[in-house]
Amino acid sequence: MGIIRVLPEELTNKIAAGEVVERPGSVVKELLENALDARATRISVSIRHGGKSFIKVTDNGRGMDREDALLCVKSHTTSKIRAVEDIFSIASLGFRGEALASIAAVSRLTLTTRDDSHPAGTEIQLAGGTVEHIREVGIPVGTTVEVSDLFFNTPARKKFLKGERAEYAAIAEIITTTSLAHPGVAFKLTRDSEVIFDYPPASHLKERILQTHYRAWDTHLLPLDAAQGGIALQGYIAGAELSRTNRTAQLFFINKRPIKSLPLSYALQRGYDGYLPPGHFPLAIIMITIDPALVDVNVHPAKREVRLQDERFVLDQLAHAVRERLKRANHAPSISFTYALDKKKKYIPPAADGTKSGIANEGITVGELSGYAGNNQDDLPLQRASEQPDSFTAHGGEPTLKVQGILGQIGQSYIVAESEGGLIIIDQHAAHERIIFGDILSAMERGAPASQALLFPITLEFGFNESRLLEEYLPILAGTGFVIRHLGKNTYCIDAAPAWMENLAVGDLIRDFIDEVSEGRGERTVHERREESARILACKSRTVKANAGLSREEMEHLIRRLEGTQIPFTCPHGRPTFIKLALDDLDKQFKRK
Ligand code: ADP
Ligand code: MG
């Protein structure tokens, strides 16, 4: 007897659900798309327990009659395509006819709907995909879908869900992102019984932006509006004065569909070449409109990715449009030597301080002098002579930092000093980072950080995910001397900052901090989180900037403090704080040996 079986529909739907429905946010995304495809102008979402126990999406779209309502929860039923060729020019957001069936397969779902040609509506209740009740109800035209107990019958999936806050933040972000592509539609989110937002219909993208947490970008936004070769690019990019250290502030839409795309992100960045320092990423909300026939949307189960027929052209158009816009905004490009350095090899810094993992976000660009790629702390940050014969090279012996006499400062960045058996060059900035890092950690351990009230408390508004991260890190930040109050929703107020921060732009610093912790997330111990936080704060709060003239006393002070740190050889990110040129090597260079 053969061993191959045709799977029952109940099972195939569960399998399909695995691709379409990953988490409560994916349910919300699919239901929003359906409401938008039904031409709704008002969409309300309510959730409980981060959507895990309850999600309700109500729209005032065209609704369905009884016959369609019964069909739509079956798999592969759709009103959006009819024939094979339709797949190649899709104008609606949905098209596979899979979403409702998939969601129904892994939850208890109630669909209530009415179209305007019938006086009564239909309510259908399902559990695990099986219809349990059908009845007539009196409701206004439109559709409501209620999804309870998501994954109640697939416990393995349920285990993968994140905490309530994380799932809630993801949902809020999805609705807000979607709302940007449909400014004319009103969107409302209620969490438990609190109204999180209620965006009224807007006449234009800009107006919608100002309703959402993206209003924080307002004064920096440059409108983008370009069209060529059948592609229209619209939206807003932020001037180069506003940037992030990760890509989370870049939203791309193709034909109103939010898209994750590294190529688009690179193209955007190309437009900013020379305007932003390395490791900084632009902020942008970009709407690409293109003939649906030239876009294949059928490449990702959750429709997060698309394939463009002439991707190169689109990317070039984007880079070009961005560049032209920046030029018109008259921003001075930043120092251009970053180009030269970029070509050099990148390396992920090794973990300093014996922590298990170094930060694995931005590779750090190394120039000729510091070809330090060793994983061993005992390696001195110098290049091997054999590798690059004509550059400045030397071999390190024991890593010692015993400074005997300061010779001076070069380039307002490096301190040159004599040390046992040679010459050392200290990167004052990296050294300072190392010192501050130690100070922050010991303040956290002592539990009595020196804090200073701000003359003018700073109010900050964040995105949903950022707020969640901030909440998570508040206790750690408090340990360093920050006093941050939650003002409600996504708004926070910084009342005090660590005393040593003095005149720093504390608001920007906290924003950058959140960007960085959002980069490489994963399970971490409290200790690891503290170190990570100290590392980021130390790096952000460089009071001794690279280009600062230092008095002899200041140099002396810096060196003594560096000598006193636990690991004076690298900055907390693993870059060297000093390099040493042994007398021996000098002798060799001058052919004395
Ligand atoms: P798809 O969106 O890919 O067609 P779905 O399973 O999401 O597949 O929906 C199936 C069908 O149910 C849709 O094609 C549409 O005709 C109908 N439908 C779903 N949601 C709504 C809604 N909110 N309002 C009106 N019709 C809807
Ligand atoms: Mg759909």
**What is the 29 CA–ligand 2 centroid distance (Å)?**
9
72 pocket-lining for ligand 1 (C-beta < 6 Å) = yes
Number of continuous H segments (helices) and E segments (strands) in the chain:
16, 24
Q: With beta carbons less than 8 A apart as the criterion, state whether 415 and 555 touch.
A: yes
Ligand 1 atom having least distance to the Cα of 96: 3
Q: Which helix (H) or strand (E) segment is 550 a member of? A: none
What is the 35 CA–ligand 2 centroid distance (Å)?
A: 8
CB of 27 closer than 6 A to ligand 1? no
Q: Report pLDDT for 396.
A: 36
Alpha helix positions (H), 448-551: 464-480, 506-519, 526-540
Q: Indicate whether residue 80 lines ligand 1 (CB < 6 A).
A: yes
pTM for this one? 0.72
**8 Å CB contact between 544 and 562:** no
Q: Which residue has the tokens 């002439």?
A: 310
Q: Show pLDDT as tens, one digit a residue, over the chain (593 residues).
A: 788 888 887 788 777 777 789 899 999 999 999 999 999 999 999 999 999 999 999 999 999 999 999 999 988 888 888 787 777 778 888 888 889 999 999 999 999 999 999 999 999 999 999 999 999 999 999 999 999 999 999 988 888 899 999 999 999 999 999 999 999 999 999 999 999 999 999 999 999 999 999 998 988 899 999 998 889 999 999 988 888 888 889 999 999 999 988 999 999 998 988 788 778 899 999 999 999 888 888 888 887 888 888 889 999 999 999 999 988 876 544 332 222 233 333 333 333 333 333 222 222 222 222 222 333 333 333 333 333 322 222 233 334 567 888 898 888 889 999 887 788 888 888 888 888 888 888 888 888 788 888 888 999 999 998 999 899 899 999 998 999 999 988 999 999 998 877 767 888 889 988 988 876 555 667 777 888 888 888 887 765 556 678 888 888 888 888 888 777 777 777 677 888 888 888 888 788 87
Per-residue confidence (pLDDT) for residue 489, from 0 to 100: 87
Distance 398 CA to ligand 2 centre (A): 65
Interatomic CA distance for residues 286 and 422, integer angstroms: 55
Nearest CA to ligand 1 atom 19: 34
Phi and psi torsions of 156, nearest 5°: -65, -35
The alpha carbons of the chain give a radius of gyration, in whole angstroms, of: 29
Using the mean position of ligand 1's atoms as its centre, give its distance from the Cα of residue 81 in Å: 11
What DSSP element (H or E) covers 8? none
Q: What's residue 520's pLDDT?
A: 58
- Show Cβ contacts of residue 527 under 8 Å, excluding neighbours closer than 6 positions: none
Q: Which residues surround the ion ligand 2 when the cut-off is CB under 5 Å?
A: 34, 94, 99
Task: Report CA dihedral (492, 524, 51, 197) to the nearest 10 degrees.
Answer: 20
**What amino acid occupies position 91?**
A
Phi and psi at residue 324, to the nearest 5°: -60, -40
CA of 160 to the centre of ligand 1 (A): 27
4 exposure class (CB count in 10 Å sphere: 0-12, 13-18, 19+): exposed
Say what the pLDDT of residue 42 is. 98
SS3 412: coil
d(CA 428, CA 556): 11
CA 170 to chain centre: 12
pLDDT for 357: 30
Residue 362 Cβ < 6 Å to ligand 1: no
Name the closest ligand to CA 36: 1
CB of 544 within 6 A of ligand 1: the answer is no
Beta strands in 128-193 (DSSP E): 130-137, 142-148, 186-191
